[in-house]
Amino acid sequence: MSKLNLDIETIESCRKTAKSISLDMQKMIDQHTTISVERSILRLLGIDGVNEYQVPLVNCLTDHIALSCDISKGVVHYMSYAVHELSLTPQEIALGVSSKSIDLSIYTHLEKSPYLSDIMPFFNQTLGIIDSNRVEREEMIEKSPKKNSPSKYVIVATGNIFEDIKQAISAAKKGADIIAVIRSTGQSLLDYVPYGATTEGFGGTYATQENFRLMRQALDEVSLEENRYIKLVNYASGLCMPEIVAMGAIERLDMMLNDSLYGIIFRDINMKRTFIDQYFSRVLSSYASIIINTGEDNYLTTSDAFLHAHTVLASQFINEQFAKNAYMDESLMGLGHAYEISPEMENSFLYELAQAEMSREIFPKSPLKYMPPTKHMTGDIFKGTIQNALFNITAVTSKQSIHLLGMMTEAIHTPFMSDRAIALDNAAYIEKAFKDFGDEITYNPEGKIVKRAHEVLNSAKELLEQIKKDGMFKSLEKGVFAEISRHENGGKGLSGVYLKHSDYQNPILDIIIKRLKGENHGK
């Protein structure tokens, strides 16, 4: 039952408008591919590794096709011809292209490839791995104790994957349910994925398939010890968004940060590139049952959280529709929001609670990701602990799903294990003390909380209508989100966007979508 008495017609109007916005963008998405989507297809064919110069083999292939062939036909055109005529595996072909002993340009002017069946066994092998991972995850979660309180989410970010593993195990044993490995600063702007285990990184650890494998293995071991499944998170954003999802699906990551707008706004990645990449990555996430985490919470780090709360809600509606376009179940849509109103504002807690309750009521089936106070953390660890406690109370009261714990040392340094332990103790205490508090209280129909939720919803409706009128590209240019302006043909990565040739083929996407529509996941 609604505590906020939100207007159902207004909510449905927002969804209808957001759907129109997303479908308008989907037309552009369906007509294009990107260099990173094509590299993802190669990874799903089983291609991995680097050459003698440490260049990923998938990059060697796509660079060759982009420079010497016609990449608008897609990598499948060339790989299917090569596999058929050379009787080599995709990995062997990649090595041959890297060494310049194979030239795929001979297939450029041939007709639409009739040899897709020759490469399907390689795709099916990878899909089989993803299918097994999904079943294994489901079985381990089924064996875990059931809980209806927010899952405690903490981060590790040392730069060294082996040190990250130690910290992740420590956090899990202290009560963390979800471990996120923060990605090294700047990796989102690399147009390739580093290879192997890494021990150096600034502000985080490089997202690589080997790092994924090592951390997953470590968390599986501690899951057995703790008798509960510990989920693993990494970042699928930036110029390699779909590739990182492919690697995460293969290594059984459980959640990935995967937003339609974050890279555009905060990393100045071209908006066309981002929208196309996010679609492919979300279809793959849907198939692998990977929960996505969207990034609306970041808007409030550059915009005033009280004045611009409606932009978060508008973005949640849009992200929801983009996810639905990618055949994603609502149970995988980890829509984001944050506790970022200035503590100096009178009744700030009431306004934060209103936003959290509103998000919960509007997206009842989504595993909402609730972010802690960061913008107004000052370095005063005592006040910071209180701010985090109020955030924890809001999370438990409003039944948030994914609860990223705040650190008292936010704005001072990367958290020590002791800081993380204190944060987990804080959250555990409030989880017990406020366990059923949300079920026991109601809100004054004429009070500040209800009034605030209605105001934010109505403002979001108006913003969505304006975005529909202006179009998404023009709206982003106007800086409607986070007060940061971006341009349709600006940003990084535009050169990697290609209009699809009439002979373009992507059978792996077609198969995944067919299975998602049939909900049989290939079984």
- Secondary structure class of 178 (helix, strand, coil): strand
Q: Is 297 a catalytic residue?
A: yes
**Token pair in block for residue 336:** 């984001």
Identify whether 287 is a catalytic site residue.
Answer: no
Find the distance separating the first CA and the last CA of the chain, reported in whole Å.
Answer: 37
SS3 154: strand
HEC secondary structure over 98-112: HCCCCCHHHHCCCCC
Annotated catalytic residue, options 229, 262, 287, 351: 262
- Does residue 211 contact residue 161 with C-beta atoms inside 8 Å? yes
Specify the DSSP element, H or E, that contains 308. none
| Residue of 152, 369, 461, 492 marked active site | 369
- The strand ranges marked E within 450-509 are 497-499
The strand pair at 32-34 and 497-499 is best described as: antiparallel
The yes-or-no answer on residue 370 being catalytic is: no
Distances from the Cα of 34 to the Cαs of 41, 44, 147, 487, in angstroms?
Answer: 11, 15, 41, 18
The 3-state DSSP class for residue 498 equals strand
**Inter-CA distances, 386 with 148, 259, 341, 436, Å:** 24, 30, 14, 21
Q: Given 235, 297, 324, 443, which residue is catalytic?
A: 297
Distances (CA, A) of 466 to 17, 259, 335, 469, 484: 10, 21, 22, 5, 17
Residue pair 265/486 in contact by the 8 Å Cβ criterion: yes
- The two beta strands, 151-156 and 402-404, are parallel
State the DSSP string of 245-302.
Answer: HHHHHHTT-SEEE--SSHHHHHH-B-HHHHHHHHHHHHHHHHHHTPEEE--GGGHHHH
Residue 205 gets which letter from DSSP?
B
CA pseudo-torsion sign 487, 490, 496, 500? positive
Which position has the token pair 């929208």? 275
**Cβ neighbours around 518 below 10 Å, total:** 10
Distance of CA 378 to the CA centre of its chain: 28
**Catalytic site residues?**
262, 297, 369
